[in-house]
Chain A
Amino acid sequence: MARAGGAQAASFAAGSRRYSYDLPRSVPWPGMGAIHVHNLKKTYRVHRKPQGLSASVRSLFRRQYKMVRAVDGISFDIEPGEMVGFLGPNGAGKTTTLKVLSGLIYPTEGHVRVLDFVPQERKNAYRRQFALLMGQKNQLWWDLPAAESFRLHKEIYTIDDERFERVQDDLTEMLSVKDLLNQPVRELSLGERMKMELIAALLHSPSVLFLDEPTIGLDVVAQASIRRCLRDYNRDHGVTVLLTSHYMQDIEALCDRVMVINHGRLVHDGPLQTIIERFAAHKILTLRFQEGAWPDRIEDVGDVIEFNPPAVTLRVPRESVTRHAAELLSAYALSDVSIEDPPIDDVISAMYGDSAMMTPDQEASGA
């Protein structure tokens, strides 16, 4: 990807990384914070649909509503150029948060600032500086080649000709879809279409990018390609990214920092690795015994995950795993022992379950 720049580009070093921005824009300098969210709450009023015909008829005249708290007091700050993963089960409040940050819905309570704008004021100056990409929605004209939708974006975002050509060239090259530009979108594969959607979102060179499941339903190759593009684009342009995904590979590959939300509350904010340290109650112990050295009551050590004599894989409580391993090593002839962290997916899903138990009275929806 060629560097956007020329005389107007401002670049500066922050830590070990270099950021470069295209001007004119209000450039968020490090320390100012690209995104600031304080005690954000969002409550929806939802029509309570009764069961049965007579109740349905009654509800025509007298509707019953219940209040659903989709986001329940979350706070975080994101620095310019950061790429943050946003994890949580369906209905946890991820999409609601992204929509509040985009100015699409009003927060019920709390403060939100993005690039020093208040999103719900929906100023054009703000809307020129961010993009929201939703993997499950389609923004391009279905029956038209993507190139025509891009030209429309050019007019709506008043991008000048030279800059438009350059950005479009760079992005189509980066995602290797140059030869598909003039093919109707409906004839593209899901992966190709998603790449075009991503280009449309980046055409106006946003400073902040909200990505809601950008790789959903894509094959492995397309996922990797989109991931690579996002990583390179973030590195070259210092764009701030908040990304939700159900694929842990996306988060592992792209995000140094992860926020986990469940039932509208932030349950973790930090590096991905610390999730394992904080939330994995177990370790995975794999043992391979030598001939004739099989112990009688292996299930006393931990839960058996895989039973494949002479090898066995067990889930063992974190605090006792080294003791058990040492005891087994001294008592039996073992050819191999390994202790590993559980897969991150498992830790996260266990976490969703745990935090649900912590707040059983919360009803969450709206994502």
Chain B
Amino acid sequence: MTNQRARTSREQWGSRFGFLMAMVGAMVGAGNIWRLPYVTGINGGGGFLLIYLLLLYLIAVPGLMAETLLGRYTNKGVIGSVRQVAGPGGWTGVGIVVLVVNVALMSYYAPILGWILYYVYHSILGTFVQPGFNPLVFWTSYTNATALVIATHTIAVGLVATVLWFGIRDGIERIVRWLFPALLVALIAVAIRSLTLPGALSGVRYLFTPRIEFLVRPATWIGALGQALFSTGLGWGIALTYGSYLREHDDVALGGGLFTALGNTSIGLLALLAVFPAVFAVGLQPTAGSSLTFISLTYVFGQMTGGYFWAIVFYLGFFFAAFTSGLAITEVGVTTLTEETRFDRNTVVVLFSGAIWLLGLPSAYSVDVLNLLDFIFGTWGLPVAALLLMLVVGWKLGRSPGLGLEWVRLVELNRSTDLYVGRWWSVIVQFVIPPVIAVIIVYYVLSNLVSHPTQTVGGVVLIGAIILVSVLGMAVLERPGADEHANGGGQ
């Protein structure tokens, strides 16, 4: 009865298309546009892609199914969901860790949104195709102009807050229904243009030729695992939050799992085809990483016939991708705080966006701060949050380990499903995904200890402290082990 009331009083997605676009739009972010091309490039091209595809199907798809299901099952945000399935107490701290990581992430993602907005503006002005345009000087002078970066950061946060103010259906859903298809069209157009440039096939050859020596390198597999897990947004709390607004008859497995993972990576493939052939055609370094987007590509557009038009299309598409992710990351906090505090949604949107703006100022002020936060929260925070969330799904959703998740699969995951999910799902979610994420975290720690010892130790200590404070804090604040609260949702 209580749950029925929650279902009817809580906002829901207005359409299946809206939910699907919101999910895939959330997971496609700035990282898909530059990171997949970069990671594919340094890990041997085609062989890496094949491994990545295999792991995407084996791990990311079932993981996303699990996270979306947790949201639909509980109809709550990250803290409420964890509390419902694990009971009040220390475990609720996991929800706080996910929330803190999202806040930290958005604090430096908002300035990046501002950067992209600035590039959209200059693509419209035609700056990148002016004779004598120097991409590096342009980039440096922009990032050194503190007031300008803070201004673009402010506009970015303002845009996110405006959309979220209107809620799930009238805000997020209404905007992603247009932005995501627009992103798709923009990337397809740029990819076609890129592939038809003289010399573009060298880029295709570099990307898709399987180099066998890379297949036997552990680093290739770890890179593919990291990309498959984290570029799909698994464990960020986004799938959980968006899943919590699903209707009772909505499917989880096909839309929340398979389509989200594949749709997200399909955009990554388009980005590969849009970026690499063009980069090769003008003879640039294909493994340039994040600077590829803000420095190298502006040069590419300057060399291209019709570069003015293609630059606008590309940077608009890039902004749409990043903006829909920014909406989702912020919504994780808005949903959770609306449930956990006495404020109404609009008050939370204003306060939370204000906090993000304030916390984003150091990153807007200095790229070094932004890179440090990305190193700490992107490299450590997200994997740790994902591991904790997957432990909640794998081991706390359902009372008895082993049997519990099988109950969830049969009663909840396969209810009204568009795609039958077999027993393999329970095994993967419980016994494969958590250890795999743990291995990746350990590998990251060990490999970064050599190259960045201070930041690595600092990052591990900070994330460890966040976990400790969150778990102990909630253990003290909430009475643990009340059976009537634990495992109480769903039906």
Chains A and B come from one and the same complex? no
Interface residues of A (CB under 8 A from B): none
